[in-house]
Structure 1
Amino acid sequence: MIGKCNRILTGLAGLVLLVVGGGVLVAGLGLSLPSWWPYDGRNDVLLSRGDRYRWRDEGWWWPTVIAVLAVLVVLALWWLLAQMRRGRLAEILVDSGDGEGALLRGKALEGVLGGEAASLDGVSDAKATLTGRRTAPRARLRVLLEPHAAPGPTLRDISEGALAHARASAGLDELPAEVRLKAVKHRAERVN
């Protein structure tokens, strides 16, 4: 979600800067512009004296300016905090039966999950990442397959083995997972 928001905001900012900068450049070069464009000559200013003082005496002007700037500051702070938010789950709440619960480190479960998946036949390497909430974690596994490995059985072994063990050991009812399989790059075998 935050990556999509970053791409949209960056694209919109780039588009606005490109259109406004291109228009100012064209006006500065003295080329013809559409009639609706606010700057029409090389000696034209961005804000004339009349434009700067036009709304000064209106009662709604300053509250509107302050409200718009406050909304922009709040949005900028939200975006900044969203950038600093961790994508990985630091801990998982495990039901210990006493009503309190216990905390399981996310890195520990990630290490065990990735290690167990990497130990399967046909798997060269596996990395696990936990996301979501601490009461409802989600797993994301990136698995590097050997050239001889078949994706179907490997995926079944991960689902019935590593993911089932992680779900049972953490006492979770469910552990949704996304598994991305990728083959190891290797040279073509020579046939004689």
Structure 2
Amino acid sequence: MRSIRTAVDRAALGAVGVALLLGGVWLAAGDRALAQRLPAWWPAPAAGTVLLDGDRLARWRGAGWWTPAVMAAAIGLTVLFAWLSLARLRRAGTGRRLALPAPGCTVRPQALSAALTERVLAVPGVVGGRARVTPRRGRRLEADLRVRLAPDTPPGAVLPALRAVAAEAGRAAEPYTVHTRIRLSAAAHRTPHVR
């Protein structure tokens, strides 16, 4: 479904781009210097023509249907583009689903991030942290672990456990290759205040 949506988006953008390009070239061909360099078969506007003639525009504005039709088209296009933008934002917020080896099973990267965060927080000596799993091209996942250590906890004491958690995450996301980056920071000591 995602690839169909992407193809439709690209086709629509391409069609609009080609239409704008052809319209711009047609209008630019009205310049005599450019019109002489174009091939004979190219449809060029006659000298002195304009895109919208003032008399024709005045006649359209005088018709009863012109103003409501233009307003309805403008409102319709605005609502359509707003709806498409909101739908895009909503899809971006939920993230794409990752296919697992079992048929019909998928998982969201946010769910993997939440599970990985729970596993990291269960490691002794860790007082805080979060995990973020980001899908990349070619069946790759990037796991970014930000871990805050308890005061006086050496990094060497928790690093083997964090590596084991990262290896477990790699096995859980089996068809994907997980590249893990671990960032360690220490929680600050609370300095007693004397009053």
Pairwise TM-score range, normalised by the shorter structure:
0.3 to 0.5
Structure number with larger C-alpha Rg: 2
